[in-house]
């Protein structure tokens, strides 16, 4: 008979067997968390968080002291209202911006948060432009859209500043509350809420290399000062700026000081950091890994809403992300997209939108709509009652004669023949038909549609005699001297219209000089007070600078640049005020 011997289990083995197969208690506490290797999809991150306004889920933060890994939130309010992200190329700066946009769009209504973006890096932000929260994205080669973006943000800030002052609003939080809860308050008319202004690629934007040579002066005169101004005053008016850079050294002075929240990705230079340089050096060479003011390691989330915790194939998810967010906010009001200056806009549409009556005061009738202003994409108005003269300069083909036709149309539409009469100097005949016959000055011996120097001499003499007659003003009519191609007058006789200079320099005379001239002749046209245009310039005439070369005329305040036909820099009192697309008036059909 054979017996089977069963080995006796030791106490240790018996305990291990029970714990492995029959233990139902809590697991042992694990103090160490796995390394931050893969990004979390934004929708997975959102599901694990509770949030307040502008608290945006942006990644996972490792808290080793607490043995935890928790959702990391970016708070664009209070002392961290604007942010800067620095790091080596291809290490997640653009991804951070995409995640910020997607996460904000998934957690905020389109009217509560919007994005205006300058994409100077990978041109990936353009992929998200269709989101209802994204007002517009401008790439580095689209200079007009870049200018419009910056100008629009400045205009929004200015409008809000005015409302704050006029209605004694104590701060942005009060404004935001009034906007959403009091439909009768002017703040409720503001289509935008908190705005995030993203500049992805500050290293490029902060230099003028992206601008054509003709536009390089605008870099230091318009772009950088406006961005600095927005950084300084924007957060108080709901405009937050987020900037990415490869090297922190490119963020100098006030730019860096006004970006309180700083985030370091893997460094491009181990001696260059936005946070604690010692800790910044510990960020591994892995895209998306970062540290911030908490001085703890972070993994930035993946800008996707399909639940896949990876950055791989992100370019294939944009359509799904946009569709998901559009469905989420379906039926909710959508703020307007960024408007740009049109290539052409009929002057008569502007006049129809800004009507006057013959019985209106002169000061109203002589506020002349002339085009679309870049700063507001609204009607640009010239006050020819306060400042009666206008000079238009540009190179051949820039739209000088077309501008003259449009302005003549605007004046005749807002005034009757009993209120204004014209003398036209037009050696080339480009203004034929621009002014109806019943608006033209009449003399039995003098043609006031002047086609040559001889006729000009006689017309000026007769007009000068009429202006010196006190009885003329009792007729109550303004006189417009409309000159096309003033440089031809200069060539024929520089002093041909000298007899009008006293009237030009006397606003009470009722005389308006409106002249077009080649850009290359701007210097002789505006020098001194002996010529008609020089006199007008000396008393602060309005001026429109169409396309031209920088060498044509240059001051520290402004210069010519290449522009599309009909687009001009508006100058008032020798200082630049805005860019205007002048209204278009076609020549009459023969």
Q: Is 216 annotated as a binding residue?
A: no
The DSSP H or E segment spanning 576 is strand 575-582
Q: Is 78 annotated as a binding residue?
A: no
Distance CA 241, CA 572 (A): 31
Q: Is 90 annotated as a binding residue?
A: yes
The secondary structure of residue 214, as a DSSP letter, is G
Q: Is 93 annotated as a binding residue?
A: yes
CB 524 within 8 A of CB 492: no
The DSSP H or E segment spanning 44 is helix 42-47
92 three-class SS? coil
β-pair type (239-245, 83-86): parallel
Place of tokens 């790439």: 139
Token representation of residue 360 = 């209106």
Token representation of residue 246 = 């490869």
Q: Is 562 annotated as a binding residue?
A: no
The DSSP H or E segment spanning 217 is helix 217-218
CB 448 within 8 A of CB 466: no
- The Cα diameter of the chain in Å comes to 152
Token representation of residue 468 = 């010196």
Where b means 16+ CB within 10 Å and e means fewer, 198-226 reads bbbbbbbbbebebbeebbbbbbeebbbeb
CB 479 within 8 A of CB 417: no
Q: Is 458 annotated as a binding residue?
A: no
Residues making up the binding site:
87-94
Residues making up the binding site for ATP:
87-94
């Amino acid at each position: 008979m054979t017996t089977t011997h069963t080995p006796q289990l030791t106490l240790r083995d018996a305990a291990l067997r029970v714990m492995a197969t029959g233990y139902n208690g809590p697991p042992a506490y694990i103090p160490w968390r796995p390394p931050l290797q893969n990004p979390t999809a934004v929708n997975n991150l959102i599901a694990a968080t509770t949030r307040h306004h502008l608290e945006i889920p942006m990644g996972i933060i490792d808290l080793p002291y607490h043995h935890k890994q928790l959702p990391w939130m970016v708070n664009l309010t209070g002392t961290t209202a604007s942010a800067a992200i620095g790091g080596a190329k291809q290490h997640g700066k653009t991804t951070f911006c995409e995640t910020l946009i997607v996460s904000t769009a998934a957690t905020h209504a389109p009217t509560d948060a919007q994005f205006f973006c300058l994409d100077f890096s990978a041109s990936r932000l353009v992929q998200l432009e269709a989101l209802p929260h994204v007002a517009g994205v401008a790439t580095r080669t689209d200079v007009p859209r870049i200018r419009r973006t910056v100008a629009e943000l400045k205009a929004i800030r200015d409008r809000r500043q005015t409302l704050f002052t006029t209605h004694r609003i104590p701060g942005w939080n009060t404004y935001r509350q009034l906007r959403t809860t009091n439909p009768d308050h002017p703040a409720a008319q503001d289509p935008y809420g908190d705005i995030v202004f993203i500049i992805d690629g500050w290293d490029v934007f902060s230099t003028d290399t992206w601008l054509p040579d003709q536009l390089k002066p605008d870099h230091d005169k318009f772009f950088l000062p406006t961005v600095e101004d927005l950084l300084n005053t924007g957060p108080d008016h709901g405009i937050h700026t987020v900037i990415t850079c490869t090297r922190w050294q490119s963020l100098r002075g006030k730019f860096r000081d006004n970006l309180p929240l700083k985030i370091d990705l893997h460094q491009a230079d181990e001696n260059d950091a936005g946070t604690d340089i010692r800790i910044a050096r510990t960020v591994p060479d892995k895209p998306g890994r970062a540290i911030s003011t908490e001085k703890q390691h972070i993994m930035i989330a993946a800008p996707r809403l399909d639940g896949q915790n990876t950055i791989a194939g992100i370019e294939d998810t944009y359509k799904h992300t946009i569709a998901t967010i559009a469905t989420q906010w379906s039926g909710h009001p959508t703020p307007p997209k960024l408007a740009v200056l049109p290539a052409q806009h009929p002057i008569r549409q502007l006049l129809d939108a800004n009507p006057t009556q013959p019985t209106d005061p002169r000061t109203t009738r002589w506020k002349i709509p002339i085009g679309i202003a870049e700063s507001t994409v609204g009607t640009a108005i010239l006050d020819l009652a306060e400042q009666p003269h206008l000079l238009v300069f540009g190179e051949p083909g820039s739209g000088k004669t077309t501008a003259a036709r449009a302005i003549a149309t605007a004046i005749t539409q807002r005034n009757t023949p009993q209120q204004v009469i014209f003398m036209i100097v037009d050696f080339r005949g480009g203004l034929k038909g621009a002014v109806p016959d019943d608006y033209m000055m009449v003399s039995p011996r003098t043609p006031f549609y002047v086609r040559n120097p001889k006729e000009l001499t006689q017309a000026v003499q007769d007009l000068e005699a009429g202006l010196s007659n006190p009885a003329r003003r009792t007729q109550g009519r303004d006189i417009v001297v409309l000159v096309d191609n003033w440089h031809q007058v200069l060539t024929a006789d520089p002093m041909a219209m000298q007899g009008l200079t006293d009237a030009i320099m006397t606003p009470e005379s009722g005389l308006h000089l409106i002249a077009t001239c080649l850009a290359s002749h701007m210097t002789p046209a505006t020098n001194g007070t002996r010529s008609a245009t020089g006199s007008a310039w000396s008393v602060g005439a309005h001026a429109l600078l169409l396309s031209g070369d920088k060498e044509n005329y240059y001051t520290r305040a402004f210069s010519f640049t290449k522009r599309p036909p009909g687009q001009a820099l508006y100058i008032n009192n020798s200082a630049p005020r805005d860019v205007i697309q002048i209204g278009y008036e076609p020549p009459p059909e023969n």
